[in-house]
């Protein structure tokens, strides 16, 4: 029973990380139809924000909003300088964001070197709950991810901004004809997508090494989540993260991590086989 509880908590922790990393990817893909291959690098930069906050002696929790702000600004700059010009051409956005990901890794290497950096766990130790000991920081991670995902979903479904986003996704020309500034909405969406990646990076920084290649580890998982959950509904990101986390945790429990990855990929292929075709770019 304890082993099962521990697996469930591990699954919840994995779900939290996957959901928060994939959220920004889902926003940018869902709204703009942009497949952002530099999303993992946004996560990596968020982790470096946490590292810088640690090295200057500030509280780790400050790095979460700071990473959001830094990455939002970076996202806005990238949208204006690059994405805006090509976002209606999917093949160009793939190439451009791939190039961007390489550039961002190189910049990180120039500034911070290739060395692995670490951010100390701000809440060391474990908490006993449900009859098992589980790292306290991971409990917090689950809670924070739940709040960030829920707040983002609410913002995109209940606010005027969310309504505008749904209108643009449904029919960009008609939205423009209703006086909606679609360019400004794209700008905000890309900025918010980058900001959520930054938050994810700052949150996962204490869990592993902070290094220029760190983002590469998160991108495949995030894409799996978006594929499984569906890019036509933002809440699908949460559902996709839950499904992928459940499959991975279950397979790891019975087999190992390699089979867990294979099972996740197989799940994605199966979902793609059975999903009805929908137009690219659709957050509902």
Partner 1 sequence: MRLEATDLRSGYGTVPVLHGVSLTVSSGEIVALVGRNGAGKTTLVKTVLGVLRSTGGALHLDGVDITRMPPSRRVRAGLRATFQERALFGALTVSDNLRLSGFGSESHDRVLDAFGPALSGRGSQRTGTLSGGEQKMLAAAIALATDASLLVMDEPTEGLQPSNVALLGDHIESARDAGRGVLLIEQHLELAKRLADRFIVLEKGEVVDSGPAADPDLAARVARRLLI
102 vs 174, which CB is nearer to partner 1?
A: 174
CA distances from 280 to 87, 169, 277, 283 (A): 12, 9, 9, 10
Q: Is 284 in the site for partner 1 (CB under 8 A)?
A: yes
Q: Is 175 in the site for partner 1 (CB under 8 A)?
A: yes
Pick the binder of partner 1 from 95, 102, 151, 174 (CB under 8 A).
174
**Minimum separation from the CB atom of position 196 to partner 1 (A):** 25
Q: Is 181 in the site for partner 1 (CB under 8 A)?
A: yes
Pick the binder of partner 1 from 56, 125, 160, 274 (CB under 8 A).
160
- What lies within 8 Å, CB to CB, of 3 at 6+ separation is none
Q: Is 179 in the site for partner 1 (CB under 8 A)?
A: yes
213, 2 Cβ separation under 8 angstroms: no
Pick the binder of partner 1 from 2, 115, 171, 256 (CB under 8 A).
171
The dihedral sign for the CA sequence 258, 263, 265, 266: positive
What per-residue string of b and e applies to 90-104 under the rule 16 or more CB within 10 Å gives b?
eeebeebbeebbeeb
Q: Is 167 in the site for partner 1 (CB under 8 A)?
A: yes
Q: What CA–CA distance (Å, rounded) separates 234 from 226?
A: 9
Q: Is 89 in the site for partner 1 (CB under 8 A)?
A: no
221, 21 Cβ separation under 8 angstroms: yes
Q: Is 166 in the site for partner 1 (CB under 8 A)?
A: yes
Q: Note the residues at the interface with partner 1 (CB under 8 A).
A: 160, 163-164, 166-167, 170-171, 173-183, 284
């Amino acid at each position: 029973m304890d082993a099962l509880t521990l697996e469930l908590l591990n699954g919840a922790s994995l779900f939290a990380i996957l959901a928060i990393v994939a959220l920004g990817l889902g926003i940018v893909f869902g709204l703009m139809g942009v497949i952002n291959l530099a999303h993992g690098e946004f996560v990596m930069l968020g982790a470096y924000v946490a590292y810088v906050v640690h090295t200057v002696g500030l509280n780790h929790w400050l790095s979460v909003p700071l990473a959001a702000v830094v990455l939002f600004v970076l996202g806005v700059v990238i949208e204006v300088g690059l994405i805006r010009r090509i976002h209606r051409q999917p093949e160009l956005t793939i190439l451009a964001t791939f190039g961007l990901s390489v550039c961002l890794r190189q910049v990180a290497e120039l500034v911070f070197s290739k060395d692995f950096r670490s951010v100390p766990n701000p809440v060391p130790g474990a908490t006993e709950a449900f009859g098992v000991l589980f790292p306290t920081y991971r409990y917090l991670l689950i809670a924070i991810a739940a709040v960030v995902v829920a707040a983002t979903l609410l913002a995109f479904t209940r606010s005027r901004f969310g309504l505008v986003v749904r209108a643009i996704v449904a029919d960009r020309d008609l939205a423009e004809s209703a006086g909606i500034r679609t360019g400004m909405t794209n700008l905000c969406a890309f900025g918010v997508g980058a900001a959520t990646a930054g938050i994810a990076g700052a949150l996962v920084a204490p869990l592993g090494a902070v290094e220029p290649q760190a983002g590469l580890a998160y991108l495949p998982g995030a894409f799996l989540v978006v594929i499984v959950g569906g890019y036509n509904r933002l809440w699908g990101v949460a559902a996709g993260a839950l499904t992928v986390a459940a499959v991975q945790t279950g397979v790891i429990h019975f087999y190992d991590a390699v089979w867990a990855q294979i099972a996740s990929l197989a799940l994605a292929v199966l979902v793609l086989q059975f999903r009805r075709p929908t137009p690219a770019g659709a957050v509902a």
